[in-house]
């Protein structure tokens, strides 16, 4: 029983309790392992960051309980779309989610991003205080490339974050690809 309890505690330490996806700690750990594997094997790796657009305004308009429900529903979409056993879906912080897509090129990542946007639209969750859409929407930024010796995982995160920033600057409810992607 103690061993089972310890396994359960370990699982909980890597899981976001609200959304039931991996947490930031698990994301960082998986990225570290996958990053160096992809350097060794010379494989493409995609790091994707995704923000719910104007989520603070959503919480202010509909309340935190409805905000939590939105996070749960959006995370369920992410798990449905980003579903290979090697992929990692994580709540990166607040309304930001991160995805690690091993052995995925820009083309494959674009398809994933398109499916995410489609499925979020199908949720049909009203967002009356959004400047991007009358329904809940997301902004996505990603980088797809083969990490090189000397590159650090934080570099990949910074590139994905830069692309996410560009998606927001361009009006949100869209995907931007970092120029280093191939």
110 has pLDDT over 90: yes
pTM beyond 0.85? yes
Q: What pLDDT does 12 receive?
A: 66
Q: What pLDDT does 7 receive?
A: 67
2 has pLDDT over 90: no
Q: What are the residue numbers of the active site? A: 95
Q: What whole-number percentage of the chain has pLDDT above 70?
A: 96
Say which DSSP state 135 is in.
B
Please, are residues 83 and 138 in contact by the beta-carbon 8 Å criterion? no
Sign of the torsion angle spanned by Cα atoms 126, 96, 89, 43 = positive
Q: What pLDDT does 56 receive?
A: 96
Please name the fold of domain 16-177. Alpha-Beta Plaits (3.30.70)
Any idea how long the chain is?
182
Q: What pLDDT band is residue 9 in, cutting at 50, 70 and 90?
A: low
At how many degrees (to 10) do helices 153-169 and 24-41 cross? 110
Q: For 13-27, write each residue's pLDDT tens digit.
A: 899 999 999 999 999
Q: What pLDDT does 96 receive?
A: 98
Q: For 111-138, write each residue's pLDDT tens digit.
A: 999 999 999 999 999 999 898 899 999 9
* Exposure class string for 124-161: b at 16+ Cβ within 10 A, else e: ebebeebebbebbbbbbbbbbbebeeeeebebbbebbb
| Closest of 84, 30, 31, 77 to residue 52, by C-alpha | 77
| Closest of 157, 29, 178, 14 to residue 96, by C-alpha | 157
Please report the DSSP string for 8-33 in residue order. HHHHHHTB-TTT-SB-HHHHHHHHHH
Per domain, the residue ranges of the chain are: 16-177
């Amino acid at each position: 029983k103690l061993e089972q309890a310890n396994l359960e505690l370990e699982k909980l330490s890597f899981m976001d309790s609200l959304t039931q996806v991996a947490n930031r700690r698990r994301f960082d750990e998986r990225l570290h392992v996958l990053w160096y594997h992809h350097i060794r094997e010379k494989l493409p790796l995609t790091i994707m960051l995704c923000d719910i657009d104007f989520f603070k305004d959503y919480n202010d308009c509909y309340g935190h309980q409805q905000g939590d429900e939105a996070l749960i529903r959006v995370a369920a979409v992410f798990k449905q779309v980003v579903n290979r056993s090697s992929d990692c879906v994580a709540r990166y912080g607040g309304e930001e989610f991160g995805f690690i897509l091993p052995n995925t090129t820009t083309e494959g990542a674009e398809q994933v991003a398109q499916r995410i946007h489609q499925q979020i639209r199908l949720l049909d969750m009203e967002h009356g205080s959004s400047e991007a859409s009358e329904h809940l929407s997301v902004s996505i930024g990603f980088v797809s490339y083969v990490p090189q010796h000397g590159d650090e995982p934080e570099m990949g995160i910074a590139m994905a974050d830069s692309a996410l920033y560009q998606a927001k600057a361009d009006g949100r409810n869209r995907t931007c690809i970092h120029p280093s992607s191939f």
